């Protein structure tokens, strides 16, 4: 039996394919390459295709038996989702429905779903637990929350067994330097800072220095991509052992400010980083930090690469040798 990794040519998905291979599991990666890269899929079979194409999905499931699905294929930019919500609801919700219905047709009943902390919206308390109200404020967050609701309904009606993994800030790169983060355009802080250090970008912009934090810049919870992958593997094992459908937060449980990230990047790279000041962005909370107690207790997840220096060091190695 094979595991289907949807969106496996993207940042987190490609690392997951490698982790599944290391665990001795067979994979087939499905990606339309709108945001992924063919050369990032270094293990297992690859098929280019789109979740919007129901006929294609049907034929894929007809020729290949799948034991379960890892779903990473989503549009993820908050600002873009505000400008073009239709595209986000179509890709993140409608296309996921296509996948779920084909899974149901072929009796594939296990799914590990890539969700997001954006489902929580503005935090009422920090750190954020899974019991925090789900009140997303962007179309991106709303689209993920909609899918989470759909999964719960499909579980009740059709027996779909699933785990919803709510990421905080995925960061870092493969420790071997074979895989890393490459978005076009890039919007994530750590790769932007490292691109400024390498000379591929003139400067990095700090959006606001009036947050209610020690240094005035906002604080986020960065979790290493390899630790995210280990959580997905544990979630799969949890489902295979009969675990009940539920959501888990995935974060370090501690936050780092924008200024801390820049300062640490300067130390790791040994290079100056030009910094520009920009206006504070509307809707950016002061602090977003995860409470990942449930993942640690139920999945027995134990992140191994949580130090900021290690996260940035791995990302810097990738930045220096990326294609």
Catalytic positions are: 140
The C-alpha atoms of residue 72 and residue 303 are separated, in whole angstroms, by 20
Under 8 Å CB-to-CB from 65, ≥6 apart: which residues? 1, 2
Q: Choose among 96, 75, 71: nearest CA to 8.
A: 71
Q: Indicate the burial class of 82 (C-beta count within 10 angstroms; 0-12, 13-18, 19 or more).
A: middle
Return d(Cα 37, Cα 156) in angstroms, integer: 36
Q: How far apart are CA 239 and CA 225, in angstroms?
A: 21
**253: which DSSP letter?**
S
If you write DSSP's letter for every residue of 76-123 in order, what string do you get?
Answer: --HHHHHH-HHHHIIIIIIHHHHHHHHHHHTT--EEEEEEEGGGG-S-
For the chain, helix, strand, coil in percent to 5 are 40, 20, 40
């Amino acid at each position: 039996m094979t595991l289907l990794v949807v969106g496996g040519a993207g940042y987190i998905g490609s690392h997951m394919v490698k982790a599944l291979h290391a665990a001795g599991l067979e994979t087939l990666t499905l990606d339309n390459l709108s945001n992924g890269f063919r050369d990032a899929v270094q293990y297992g079979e690859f098929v280019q295709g789109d979740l919007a194409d129901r006929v294609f999905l049907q034929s894929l499931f007809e020729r290949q038996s799948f034991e379960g699905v890892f779903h990473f294929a989503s549009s993820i930019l908050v600002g873009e989702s505000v400008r073009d919500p239709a595209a986000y609801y179509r890709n993140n919700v409608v296309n996921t429905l296509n996948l779920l219905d084909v899974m149901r047709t072929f009796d594939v009943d296990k799914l590990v779903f890539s969700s997001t902390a954006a489902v929580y919206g503005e935090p009422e308390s920090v750190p954020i637990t899974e019991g925090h109200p789900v009140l997303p404020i962007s179309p991106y967050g709303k689209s993920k929350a909609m899918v989470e609701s759909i999964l719960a309904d499909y579980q009740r009606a059709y027996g779909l067994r699933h785990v919803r993994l709510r990421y905080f800030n995925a960061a870092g790169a493969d420790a071997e330097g074979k895989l890393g983060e490459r978005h076009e355009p890039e919007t994530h802080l750590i790769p932007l800072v490292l691109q400024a250090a390498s000379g591929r970008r003139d400067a990095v912009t700090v959006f606001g220095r009036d947050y209610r934090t020690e240094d005035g810049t906002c604080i986020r919870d960065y979790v290493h991509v390899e630790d995210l992958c280990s959580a997905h593997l544990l979630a799969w094992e949890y489902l295979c052992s009969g675990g009940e459908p539920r959501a888990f937060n995935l974060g370090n449980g501690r936050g780092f400010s924008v200024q801390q990230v820049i300062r640490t990047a300067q130390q790791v790279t040994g290079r100056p980083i030009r910094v520009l000041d920009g206006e504070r962005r509307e809707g950016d909370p002061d602090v977003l930090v995860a409470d990942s107690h449930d993942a640690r207790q139920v999945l027995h997840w134990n992140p191994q690469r949580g130090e900021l220096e290690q996260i940035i060091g791995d990302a810097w190695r990738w930045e220096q040798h990326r294609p």
